[in-house]
Copies of this chain bind each other. A is one copy, B any other.
Amino acid sequence: SETKKLLILPGDGIGPEIMREVARIMAWMSRVRGINFDITEDLVGGASLAVHGVPIRQEVIDEARAADAVLFGSVGDPKWASAGFDLRPEIAILKLRQELGLFANLRPAKVFDALADASTLKPEVVRGLDIMIVRETVGGIYFGNPRGIETLPDGSRRGINTEVYSTSEIERVARVAFDLARKRDNRVCSVEKCNVMESGLLWKEVVTDLHAREYADVQLTHMLADNCAMQLVRNPRQFDVIVTGNLFGDLLSDLASMLTGSLGMLPSATLGAVDADGRRPALYEPIHGSAPDIAGKGQANPLAQILSFAMLLRYSFNMLEDAEMIETAVANVLASGLRTPDIMSPGMAVVGTEVMGEAVVREL
């Protein structure tokens, strides 16, 4: 098979330093397993604003389109906090999602055995937790029109955003959820606010219809978003796959992540549609942010970035064996007691970004 094209976008804050630990793993793959990638690297977020004056250039979007997969670090930089709505570093990720049609964000919330105590929830509530949230990411209120702030004749202002979901947008993301469920515990919970929003009512109907037509073997339940927020705290292990819209998914996936107590461990994938040539655009990123407060100090946890790379190998390159090797290496390093400061607990050995990355390579 030909060499896979990888676009690497480290971004801001701790992005570049944790991405270096992925490079270490790629070097190992090349050296030991003879696997090489065709790598392009570019700037996004505050890093791009500083050099090019925009959070993402058209060239970068074109590079992303040409790549077989994108490995993303994180964006966000206090320096650009007041740059204005159109110059937010976040634009980088929003544009990539929309221009590449990355509509399905896969957000696993998984508790690692070695880290069950890291949660603020009681260990008996979260031990073994393994939820997959599938969040729609190119529709809903993030992108709907009309939007903006208008000034009325009396000088007062109105802020407006529009939530829109179409049959096909709902169907394609529900399909991703059902397909994933079949490889897991075969249960999907669809989440909306159909009791107050018509877009939620349509969401529920479309998911129900699709289920009856094509996925009757999967167990489907429906839940209101407010209740889902409660149930994630009350008894998170009741869930297998959750599928929901862009805005609810934003809150609920972050909430679910925090249940694990170790954000520094959690990867994510955002997938587009398979095209005529069988190619599927995809972006992988840790769920944590750019953590400007610890950037450059060598303390950041590189494991979520490394696990995002493993997810990339699995979903985009079908390199299941390599993905699993990396995941096992990470679990073993944790079991051996190494901890970056964010996941430190009594009796463990605190290490920095590099030592953690090296330990994973040693395990490999």
Contact = CB atoms under 8 A, between A and B. Distances in A.
A166 interface: yes
Interface string A233-263: 1110000000000011011101101110001
A168 B195 contact: no
Q: In the complex, which of the residues A148, A193, A230 has the most CB atoms of chain B within 10 Å of its own CB atom? A: A230
A165 B156 contact: no
Number of copies of this chain in the oligomer? Answer: 2
B233 A251 contact: no
A278 interface: no
A293 to B, nearest CB: 14
Contact of A121 (B121, B160, B193, B232): B121
A198 interface: yes
Contact of A258 (B160, B233, B251): B233
Contact of A255 (B120, B195, B229, B248): B229
Given A120-B121, A159-B164, A147 B198 contact: yes
Interface string A189-232: 00001011111111100100000000000000000011101101
A187 interface: no
A51 B193 CA distance: 27
Contacts of A144: 160
A158 B164 contact: yes
Given A121-B122, A233-B258, A233-B259, A198 B159 contact: yes
Contacts of A88: 195
A141 interface: yes
A327 B235 CA distance: 29
B255 A157 contact: no
A201 B149 contact: yes
Contacts of A226: 250-251, 254
A318 interface: no
A90 interface: yes
A79 to B, nearest CB: 15
A240 to B, nearest CB: 19
A255 B165 CA distance: 25
Contacts of A193: 247, 250
A141 B156 contact: no
Interface string A117-128: 000111001000
Given A161-B198, A198-B148, A225-B250, A258 B230 contact: yes
B230 A255 contact: yes
A230 B257 contact: yes
30 contacts: A85-B201, A120-B234, A120-B235, A121-B121, A122-B122, A142-B196, A147-B197, A152-B166, A156-B167, A156-B168, A158-B202, A159-B163, A159-B166, A159-B200, A159-B202, A160-B162, A160-B164, A160-B198, A161-B162, A161-B163, A163-B163, A225-B250, A225-B251, A227-B254, A229-B254, A229-B255, A230-B258, A232-B255, A233-B258, A251-B251
Q: In the complex, which of the residues A193, A196, A226, A258 has the most CB atoms of chain B within 10 Å of its own CB atom? A: A196
